[in-house]
Every structure is written in C-alpha cells, then in structure tokens.
Amino acid sequence: MTKFSPPTIKRLDNGVYQLTTQTIVNRALGETFEFFAKAENLNKITPPWLHFNIVSDTPIQMGVGTIIEYRLKLRGFPIKWVSEIPIWQPPFRFVDQQKNGPYQYWHHEHLLQENNTNSTTVKDIVTYKVPLGRLMHTLFVKHDLKRIFEHRKRSLQNLLY
C-alpha cells in the first residue's frame, strides 16, 4: 500500500516558502534511491503539462557537483532551468538546487527512510522564493507546486508500487 501526505506550504521569513510532502512506496530503500539517482526518471514523475525535457547529455552521472539543464513550459512560457547537486548521500539524502531558473531561490531536499515493512518513506522539502513575492505565490506558484507534487505522488505510486 502506498501512502501519501498532501503537500503543505508554509511561509517563512523574508518571502521564503517551504513545501513539504511525503510518500511511502513499497520498495526497498536502495531500489527507491536508485530510481531517484537516475535523472532521466524526472521525466516519468513530472506532469506532462510542463513539457519537461532534460537538455544535458544522458545518462547523467549523479553526485556532488553534478549540473543538470532542463527546459520546460510553465503556463505557456518557455523556461530554462539549471540545477546543481550540492549534497549527495546515498541512499538516504540528496539535494538539488537551482543555479538558474524561474525562482529567486530553490532548494529541494530529498530524504529517504527505510521502513520496517520493506517500504521507503520519500520526503520532499522544497524551500523557495518567487519573483514578485506574495502576489505571484498566491495567484500562481502555490497552486502549480501543489499540482506538480500531487502528480509526482501518483506517478511514484504507479512506478514504485
């Protein structure tokens, strides 16, 4: 059985927000981390309406310092996004951080924890800041991020059940 905690978003100081969500998948810790360690799997868990595409040459060797370039469309606008992996601690934790993209700040921490039932808890903590602050967040970003992470949950349920 796969369990999911809906995304929650809270406002921190200075216009910074934090999204937190978690999913329990019925796969062992090592197998779950291997899924996330293959950057190409981002295509499988990203909503089709984002028209997400990895531009970097694949396969990508993941580790500290890895740079990944993406292209996507958000509300019809083409976006270039470049991420770096500053933290890589298999099979428990890794972080991707935006170097260039639509956010003023984006730090996505992935935490994986083995459960007693041969399942893994996947927790996402995304700390971010958006241009135009609270107005942009309220009108667009909050809703879009919740939709993205709800899609991610459904995809993980299908792929790692």
The model's pLDDT over 113-147, given as tens digits with 9 standing for 90+, comes to 999 878 999 999 999 999 988 889 999 999 999 99
Task: Give the separation between CA 89 and CA 19, rounded to whole angstroms.
Answer: 21
Residue 30, Cβ neighbours under 10 Å: how many?
13
CA–CA distances in Å: residue 102 to residues 35, 95, 146: 26, 18, 17
Q: Is the pTM of this model over 0.85?
A: yes
Q: Where are the domains of the chain?
A: 3-154
Sequence-separated (6 or more) residues with CB below 8 Å from residue 144: 74, 75
Which run of H or E residues covers position 82? Answer: strand 77-89
pLDDT value for 1: 46
Assign domain 3-154 one CATH number from 3.30.530.20, 3.30.160.620, 3.40.50.720, 3.10.129.10.
3.30.530.20
What mean pLDDT do residues 105-115 have? 97
pLDDT digits (tens, 9 = 90+) for 7-61: 999 999 899 999 999 999 999 999 999 999 999 999 999 999 999 999 999 999 9
Look at residue 61 in the predicted model and tell me its pLDDT.
95
The pLDDT of residue 2 is above 70? no
